[in-house]
Amino acid sequence: MIYFDSAATTFQKPRAVADAMLAALATMSSPGRGGYPAAMAAADAAFDCRTELAELYHAESPEQVVFTMNATHGLNIAIKSLVPPGGRAVISGYEHNAVTRPLAALGAQVSVAAAPLFRPETVTAAFDRLIVPGTDAVICSHVSNVFGFVQPVEAVAAICRQRGVPFIIDASQSAGMLTLDMAALGAAFIAMPGHKGLYGPQGTGVLLCGKDVPVRTLLEGGTGSLSMQQEMPDFLPDRLEAGTHNMPGIAGLLAGVRFVRQLGPENICREERLLAHQAAEGLRRVPGLTVHALPDLAAQAGVLSIIPEQMDAEALGAALAERGIAVRAGLHCAPLAHRTAGTLNTGTVRLSFSHWNTREEVDRLLEAVGEIFQ
């Protein structure tokens, strides 16, 4: 199988990830639940993983790194910590349902900083108009999961700092690829999955929490700390980590993060963009296809969407699957992004790349699309 669906999850992992997970099953119990070797091994692995992530994203301390089940879990914590029922939020026009559905559940008043694709300066201007006094939170995806559009989170963060409004970044598609400096950004929260660009296993995620940012719990339970107290601890990460940790997942995530740091996120990003550029240039030569990409892939990461003009997007996805090529077709859990880009009625076929993809695989994709449209 040729796998071009890494925006959903990176199917191919470093061998070290599986090895670390198997070792955890054999050697680790639960951190904070005892002083015997298996518990201490778990505590060491969890601390090492927090430390690696804190260093990668310039968080002040490992305690600011909270383990979650996925980015959706982290975004729910972040949003519900800052936006009260009926509160006010400003979001980009390219947000995932992991942002829009929690806001809808809160009955929040939502302003959308909509802007055309691949126009970061227009995104910044839209946020500048909409971030007003009384805004409870601003939320922006760093990279659109549908179009790969790299949004100007640094510029939006500067506006938020100037106006004293908390900022939440959804790094679901940028973690492991693009630079994020939590200290410089001054973000309240940055949420990311472990199973995409960090090459960890499914069921893992990370929420980076800003210093002195109030956090509300989604779950209450055992933490291994302050057990006599019936309220959740008021310190991180314990306040947000009720229950038994996913130690095989955390051990695998640690191996994935180390893999990313060894290669360098900037090198991974360069590889993915080269593949996306190769695919975009080749697909533009196929009659009957609309390719959502600028010629030089400016303001775009390793995610590419196309629309067949005379075929349903799902049909093209199925035809590629029959030829052993895995892509995703449809709305990608992001109807707001499609509404903003004008593709809500058609959806798109999404190609998303990882470190493991090759130029030869892209050539095979182009051959397959040519066969389908001949």
Helix axes 71-82, 97-105, angle to 10 degrees: 40
Q: What is the pLDDT of residue 361?
A: 98
Instruction: Say which residue, 298 or 221, is predicted with more confidence.
Output: 221
Q: What is the pLDDT of residue 374?
A: 84
Residue-wise pLDDT tens digits, 338-350: 999 999 999 999 9
Average pLDDT value for residue range 163-173: 98
Q: Averaged over 267-285, what is the pLDDT?
A: 97
Give the orientation angle of helix 247-263 with respect to helix 265-284, to 10 degrees. Answer: 80
For the stretch 116-140, pLDDT in tens is: 999 999 999 999 999 999 999 999 9
- Interval 311-361: pLDDT, tens: 999 999 999 999 999 999 999 999 999 999 999 999 999 999 999 999 999
pLDDT (tens digit per residue) in 285-310: 999 999 999 988 889 999 999 999 99
d(CA 243, CA 247): 12
Q: Does residue 45 have a pLDDT over 90?
A: yes
Closest CA to 336 of 169, 174, 114: 114
Q: What percent of the chain has pLDDT over 70?
A: 100
Q: Provide the mean pLDDT of the chain.
A: 97
This prediction has a pTM of 0.97
How large a percentage of the chain has pLDDT more than 90?
98
**Residue 34: other Cβ atoms inside 10 A:** 14
